[in-house]
Amino acid sequence: MFSFLQSRFWLVGLCFLFSGHLQAQESFRLGIAPHTSARVILEMYQPLRAHLEKALGMPVEVVTAPDFTEFAKRMLHQDYDLAVTTGHQARLAETDANYIPLLTYSAEFKALAFVAEKGSIKTAADLKDKPVLGLSPTSLVTLWGQHWMKKNGLNQTLRYVSASDSVANIVLEGQAAAGFTSMANYQSLPPEVQTQLRLLVVSEPLAGRVYVLNSSQLSRKAIIEAALQSFAQSEEGKAYFAKYKLKGYRKLLPKELSVMDPFAAETRQSLK
């Protein structure tokens, strides 16, 4: 059971996550795309937040947004000093807002569609005219999923929810036939949930979660890059990569982000 102080920590943390603009003092804003619930994001990035705070010698806030579309808007409005988001939004941040790509995770990023293990959906054709879930209109897994559906002659409009665990629950409750998410988020679902699901399709590797630095923080670039590398070598960092199956950091490959241009263009159009 949480103590009173622990409860206050979570309450304050969640307020920071959705505050968007509240700053009691100068702080460094680490923006995390809303790939899962705010509570999980706060917990997941707490070790990195603490490491960056020590390296920078200033407060570091972990902030997110209600959905990927709002996250992209805030990123393009320069709300984040360092953002972690999927490749298409990282590309958009680079081309439209002068963010500087730094690195990504070593683990492959793949999108997938899952269905209920005991359900009737066996092939893409079985989804015809049935409800399908995505995370938001501008998330990479949703955009990829829409392309996959179109290739398979599926024309229904997706429904959107805010987190992968919510997608899984809705599918298992029978309120949707399938849901799109990332492999990383699927693997983060509780084992007892995963055993009730079956993968219908898995994408080819895509540019996954990419760290992009606001150009206003260029003077801190060397410090931040060194801090990320030292975090990767720390016990806390190794535990973080192991827990979330991320395998560490790696440099971006040549043109790895530029191949995201079609998805970035769709996101740009959605923001108009």
pLDDT digits (tens, 9 = 90+) for 22-57: 444 589 999 999 988 888 899 999 999 999 999 999
Higher per-residue pLDDT: 6 or 150: 150
Residue 107 pLDDT more than 70? yes
Per cent of the chain over pLDDT 90 is 79
| Cα distances (Å, whole numbers) of residue 148 to 32, 90, 153, 239 | 26, 22, 9, 35
Report the number of distinct structural domains present in the chain: 2
| Same domain membership, residue 246 and residue 129 | no
Burial per residue of 122-151, b for 16 or more beta-carbon CB atoms within 10 angstroms, e otherwise = eebeebeeebbbbbbbbbbbbbbbbebbee
Range of the domain at 24: 4-108+207-270
Distance CA 173, CA 132 (A): 13
| Same domain membership, residue 197 and residue 127 | yes
The pLDDT value recorded for residue 19 is 43
Q: Which of 185, 202, 219 lies at the terminal end of a domain, its last residue? A: 202
The dihedrals phi and psi of 42, each to the nearest 5 degrees, come to: -60, -45
| Same domain membership, residue 127 and residue 75 | no
- pTM for the model stands at 0.81
